[in-house]
Amino acid sequence: MILDSFDSIIEKKGRVHLTGVGGVSMSALAEMLLSMGACVSGTDREDSEVLKRLKSLGADIRVGHSPEAVEGASVLVRTAAVHDDNPEIIRAKELRIPVLERSYAWGVIMRRYEHVLCISGTHGKTTTTSMAAHIAVNAGIDPSVMVGGSLPLIGGGTLRIGKRNLFIAEACEYCNSFLNFYPTVAVILNIEPDHLDFFKDIDSIISSFRKFAMLTPENGVVVVNADDKNAMRAVEGIPRRIITFGLSENAEIRAEAISEQNGYFSFDVLQGGKKYSSVTLSVPGRHNMINALACAAACCHAKIPGQVFASGLSEFFGAGRRFERKGKVNGALLVDDYAHHPSEMRATLDAAFSMGYSRVICLFQPHTYTRTKAFMNEFAKELKRCDLVYLLDIYAAREQPDGVTSSELLASKIENAVYCPDFETAVRKIRENAREGDIILSMGAGSVSKVPDLLLSR
């Protein structure tokens, strides 16, 4: 019922206020609402280029949160990072202004599209969503796209506004956000333990993904990784059309004739045993072959020709912070990557090691105390593979220190690791040790993304 009322607010040009409008998903939401003719206002703690852009598009934007900002609004949309003690949330409740999570708002928008492709999974969402966007644009479909990282295809942004035929969206499981979406095709790339500050255990995560799959209509489709046991558990027995993809022979969409050169994969895509396409990827790593197969499954369902699929993929050179080449430091290649889970780190490191560099140097910033505590040994195992490791303090995000878990503790488990208390120390040590022939990986989901620019500016 509240979704219908939100839709009505948009149509009647009631004011939609976004608290935390500077975030990736929230700024994209604001831009989408503006394109629909909605009246939009928003606030964020700090000014930014994002806020300036939204102002130029016609949004009423203020820096800083205040009770007055929500007065006169028809609805308030919040991010998960905005808590109940925020002055705007408090004032909205006093004025009985409805308060919605951003995922509800995206759900309303999705209902306006004929086809909605939602891509979920513990890992690979941003890359696979970006791949799908490239393929759709290459096919002349003119999709709308919402992605969690910057994509060169859409001017380095996170939103593309196209026709109302196809919406391609990254679907995150954290706080069950994706359960507010309306997929006609739901993709499940993989399911692993993560976000254990919200989910109780792996069973609760699988249950959430199962509910996500069931959001598809009866004539919808669920695309699932045949090689991932948890993903297959999530869809077991559900009354929906299932299309499997993967490397195993029982997958409906699978790869054959696989070859690899310096980390880049070429392969044939088979659909039901028959050749659908031949692909050469422009992004490194075996994990990207799996991501491409997920896209192939969706494309086969949509009856996109194999040559169009292959052409779109060949033009995909990556999304922001997904094995993003930043430049060179002392002749060493500097790559920035979002990896913050052991499986993501493994995939990124596998790609780096397959590229033939003499040494792999890693700068890693763990993300949240709960994740670092849960995966301490797994992080150590992956980082031990590197020739040199530099560890920044844990990026707390929404959490408080637990008094035990720390990057220093993680460093103590890795023989070749050095704890760096600040960016300056990390920059200095990397510049002292990097040399031509090395590859430097800057990894993590927090403020570590600022370090590559610091390294390249000196």
Catalytic residues: 125-126, 170
Sheet holding 99-101, edge to edge: 60-63, 39-44, 15-19, 75-78, 99-101
Q: Could you tell me which residues come within 8 angstroms of residue 428 by beta carbon, excluding any fewer than 6 positions away?
A: none
123: DSSP letter = S
Distance CA 346, CA 355 (A): 14
**Spatial separation of the C-alpha atoms in residues 73 and 81, rounded to whole Å:** 20
First-last CA distance in the chain: 56
CA distances from residue 31 to 14, 39, 113, 222 in whole angstroms, order as listed: 16, 11, 17, 29
Q: Which two tokens stand for residue 23?
A: 């975030």
Q: Quote the tokens at residue 51.
A: 């806020």
Picking from 125, 157, 134, the residue whose alpha carbon sits closest to that of residue 57 is 157
Pairing of strands 15-19, 274-280: unpaired
Helix (H) or strand (E) holding 425: helix 423-433
Burial profile 341-355: b = 16 or more Cβ within 10 angstroms, e = fewer: bbbbbbbbbbbbebb
Question: In this structure, which amino acid lies at residue 301?
Answer: H
Give the whole-angstrom CA distance, residue 30 versus residue 23: 10
What's the rounded Cα separation, in Å, for the pair 311 and 135?
Answer: 8
